[in-house]
Amino acid sequence: MTGAMGARGVVFLGSPAFPDAARTALADDRLRANLRRATTTIRDKRLAATGELDDWEELRAAGEAIKRHTLRHLPYYLERLEESVTAAGGTVHWAADAAEANRIVTELIRATGATEILKIKSMATQEIGLNEALADAGVTACETDLAELIVQLGEDRPSHILVPAIHRNRGEIRDLFAAEMGHWGRPAPEGLTDEPAALAEAARLHLREKFLRAEVAVSGANFACADTGTVAVVESEGNGRMCLTLPETLITVMGIEKVLPAFTDLEVFLQLLPRSSTGERMNPYTSLWTGTTPGDGPSAFHLVLLDNGRTDTLADEVGRQALHCIRCSACLNVCPVYERTGGHAYGSVYPGPIGAVLTPQLVGVEHASSLPFASTLCGACYDACPVRINIPEVLTHLRAKAVEAKAGHRRLPTLEALAMKGATAVLVSPARLGLAQRAASLGGRLLSRRGRIGRLPGPFRGWSDTRDTPAPPAESFRAWWRANRAGGQR
């Protein structure tokens, strides 16, 4: 169930729009139970891990500033990275879109003569649909991350950035391993139970023989340092280390926004990423390599720099910040919408709040026009983001663009477009938000009956037909805080 891929991949073509997909997902009780259990666990762990550092906000600010600065000078840092990687013995390739990246990787693999390659979990190769392109070229790509293996064996789609099989519970995984592993290599042990430790052991045995004979591996990259040419992969299981160390040829596909100015900038991101992602002080394994090292690891290293819509995203001064993303998935885990619908409803390899702002920008807002609306704008994602992407701001900005795209040739903006523009203007200014809240409080109380606002006349009718709106409180939280707590502080 891979779906046809356009030139840019990213979205699963043929997926229903978010509202329809969400309705189906919400009716799936087992999915909702799996998601609730998993996201609750990880939320608590993340809060504990980030709460340990009393300078967490300073780290976030530094992470944001480094990413912002790098993007503003992206051509400079990409050229430096190319220079450093080449000097260290690597080869750099440039790919404008998914099709070109797939072609480059396919040719590199063909040149080695390998017909089976190993993969480290990577969002970039997921985005370009590499496994499908390789299959068409007669090359079998074996996923080695446990969750990706679960997705691959089930001919399923990933539903989470970090834990792609979060929608599956242990019983489902046991059944899948027992039924499918034998088709790909070593079968699951007899009498496999649904204990996570037993399932991990089955994956270890299944993949071990593949690691030992691997000739080519394909990875993504978490970071790449322009000054030294050092590339980083952050992981837990050791499948990454196997793929980065044992094969003769290593091919890394990396979005151009992953570059960092300096090796020393890792001091910020190696604190931000594991604590935000798995809620650990440090993930079990991080591998850093610079070109090739004689006698240690691959003798050939290829770095494929991927655009695939990133320069279009860069051109939008508001939307550009989505490229700060370090793929930690904290925003998914705190999102009330994601927790209820799961990742498949987003129809993209990038689900959740970050997906709702990244996907429409990578593929063009007209191809994912329902995603900017797949949010309540509660702001939990912004608070959780380790690089301070203001996701609600980008969402409202993209909503206006989606509505504009829909209006197309109309001469006058639609009311919806005006409302979204107005919302952006109000939400970016604390003073304006305060005024709007006071006005809403007065107006809302005039219209409400027993605390609820029912059907409204005129242009609001379409909205209010299917929704009751709670009347705004007499006083906003911000106003209450100023009156009761602020006490002269800012």
Partner 1 sequence: MSTRDTILGRARAALGDVPPAERPEEAPIPRGYRRSHADVPLVELFAERVADYRATVTVAPEHQAARTVGRLLADRGLTRAVVPDGFPDAWLPGGTFTRLGDAPPRTPAELDGIGAVLSTCAVAIAVTGTIVLDAGPGQGRRALTLLPDYHLCVVRAEQIAGDVPEAIALLDPTRPLTFVSGPSATSDIELDRVEGVHGPRTLDVIILTSTEEA
Does 204 engage in binding with partner 1 (CB under 8 A)?
yes
SS3 107: helix
Does 109 engage in binding with partner 1 (CB under 8 A)?
no
Buried (b) or exposed (e) across 58-78, using 16+ Cβ within 10 A? ebbebbbebbeebbeebeebb
Does 242 engage in binding with partner 1 (CB under 8 A)?
yes
Residue 170 or 438 with smaller CB distance to partner 1? 170
Report, in this order, helix, strand and coil percent for the chain, each rounded to 5.
55, 10, 35
Does 145 engage in binding with partner 1 (CB under 8 A)?
yes
Among candidates 160, 99, 177, which has minimal Cα distance to 133? 99
Does 58 engage in binding with partner 1 (CB under 8 A)?
yes
By CB under 8 A, name the one of 5, 11, 85, 165 that touches partner 1: 165
Residue 273 or 403 with smaller CB distance to partner 1? 273
Does 127 engage in binding with partner 1 (CB under 8 A)?
no
Compute and round to an integer the Cα radius of gyration of the chain: 24
Of the candidate spans 12-20, 234-242, 347-355, 466-474, the one that interacts with partner 1 by CB under 8 A turns out to be: 234-242
Instruction: Tell me which H or E stretch contains 234.
Output: strand 230-235
Residue 12 or 289 with smaller CB distance to partner 1? 289
- For the bound state, the minimum distance from the C-beta of residue 71 to partner 1, rounded and expressed in Å, comes to 8
Are residues 196 and 170 in contact, defined by beta-carbon separation less than 8 angstroms? yes
By CB under 8 A, name the one of 75, 113, 191, 457 that touches partner 1: 75
By CB under 8 A, name the one of 22, 62, 250, 260 that touches partner 1: 62
Among candidates 294, 379, 371, 394, which has minimal Cα distance to 331? 379
- For the bound state, the minimum distance from the C-beta of residue 452 to partner 1, rounded and expressed in Å, comes to 38
Bridge partners, residue 240, by sequence: none
Query: What distance in Å separates the CA atoms of residue 365 and residue 247, rounded to the nearest whole number?
Result: 40
Does 186 engage in binding with partner 1 (CB under 8 A)?
no
SS3 318: coil
Bridge partners, residue 302, by sequence: 91, 251
Considering only residues 280 through 309, tell me which ones interact with partner 1, judged by CB under 8 A: 280-290, 293, 295-297, 305, 307
By CB under 8 A, name the one of 11, 141, 207, 453 that touches partner 1: 207
Instruction: Tell me which H or E stretch contains 367.
Output: none
Does 181 engage in binding with partner 1 (CB under 8 A)?
no
Count of residues in contact with partner 1, rule CB under 8 A: 96
Of the candidate spans 12-20, 90-98, 351-359, 386-394, the one that interacts with partner 1 by CB under 8 A turns out to be: 90-98
By CB under 8 A, name the one of 17, 26, 47, 96 that touches partner 1: 96
Contacts of 430 (CB under 8 A, 6+ apart): 478
SS3 243: helix
Are residues 162 and 328 in contact, defined by beta-carbon separation less than 8 angstroms? yes
Of the candidate spans 275-283, 351-359, 400-408, 409-417, the one that interacts with partner 1 by CB under 8 A turns out to be: 275-283
Residue 386 or 472 with smaller CB distance to partner 1? 386
